[in-house]
Amino acid sequence: MPVRVRTAPPGERKLSWWEKLHFPAIFSGMAYTLGRMFKKRFTVQYPEESVAAALGPEFRGRPVLVVENGKERCVACGLCARVCPPFAIHMQAAETDDPKERYPAVFEINMLRCIYCGLCEEVCPEEAIVMSPEYDFVFRSREGAIYTKERLLVDKKDLEPRLKWLDSMRNPQFGKRFRFRVSNNIHAVKARGMVVEGDEAVS
Ligand code: SF4
Ligand code: SF4
C-alpha cells in the first residue's frame, strides 16, 4: 500500500526548521501575556464599579428630553415618533398661548422597545431629544418601562457634553444663508433657456 506524505497545500508557506520547533511561538505568546499583566487593566468590575468615567460623549444611553430655562425644548413636531424604527415613542401635541408654538402634552418612550439607535436625536430640529449617558436603569414591570414625560425631562446643564459633541458634529452649512445661481436650481429644460447667464438670487 503506497504511503501518503502530507505536504503543505499549494501556495502555503513552508515552516522553517526553527518554526517547526513551535517553542518560539509558545514563548512569544507567554511573553505577551506576561507583559499585559503589568499594564493598566481595562476590565471594569461592573456593577460594583461604574463605567461612566470611561464613556465619551458619543455614547448613546437612554433618550431624554432637554429642559432649557425650566421649559422643555420640544415643539411637538412629531418627527422623532415618526422616524423611530420600533415605534417606541408616543406623543400628543397641544397648543400653547402662543399660536405659533406647540408643546408635547404627552410624551412617552417605551424602553422595552428602544434600541438606542439615536435616530430621534438626529432628526429633531430643536435638539430637544438627546441620547443621555445614562445606561444603568432597571424596571420591574412593563408599565415601569414606559418613561413618561416627567421621567424623560433632564436639565440642559446635565447634558452639556453630549450637546457640545452634537454641535461639533453638525454640518457647518446647517442654517446658513447662501447665494445660489438660479440657473443651477432650474430643472425644466424650457425654463433653463429663459435664464440669463450669471443671473443670481438670494435664498
Ligand atoms: S433611540 Fe431609536 S429606538 Fe430609541 S426612541 Fe430614539 S429613535 Fe426610537
Ligand atoms: S423631533 Fe424633537 S421637537 Fe419634534 S417632537 Fe421629537 S423631541 Fe419634540
Domain boundaries for CATH 3.30.70.3270 within the chain: 57-169
Beta carbon of 63 within 6 Å of any ligand 1 atom: yes
The predicted structure's pLDDT at residue 118: 95
Beta carbon of 152 within 6 Å of any ligand 2 atom: no
- Mean pLDDT of successive 10-residue stretches along the chain, which has 203 residues: 68 83 92 92 85 88 96 94 97 89 95 96 94 92 96 96 91 64 60 55 45
Domain range 57-169, its CATH number among 3.10.105.10, 3.40.1520.20, 3.30.70.3270, 1.10.287.130: 3.30.70.3270
The predicted structure's pLDDT at residue 11: 76
The predicted structure's pLDDT at residue 172: 72
The predicted structure's pLDDT at residue 64: 98
Rounded to the nearest whole angstrom, what is the distance from the C-alpha of residue 9 to the centroid of ligand 1? 51
Rounded to the nearest whole angstrom, what is the distance from the C-alpha of residue 36 to the centroid of ligand 1? 39
Rounded to the nearest whole angstrom, what is the distance from the C-alpha of residue 49 to the centroid of ligand 1? 27
The predicted structure's pLDDT at residue 192: 54
Query: By alpha-carbon position, which residue is closest to atom 2 of ligand 2?
Result: 124
Q: What is the pTM of this model?
A: 0.70
The predicted structure's pLDDT at residue 74: 95
Full 3-state SS string of the chain? CCCCCCCCCCCCCCCCHHHHCCHHHHHHHHHHHHHHHCCCCCCCCCCCCCCHHHCCCCCCCCEEEEEECCEECCCCCCHHHHHCCCCCEEEEEEECCCCCCEEEEEEEEECCCCCCCCHHHHHCCCCCEEECCCCCCCCCCCHHHEECHHHHEEEHHHHHHHHHHHHHHCCCCCCCCCEEEHHHHCCCHHHHHHCCCCCEEEC
Cell numbers linked to 167 = 454641535
Give the burial string for 139-159 (b: 16+ CB within 10 Å, else e): eeeeeebbbebebbebeeeeb
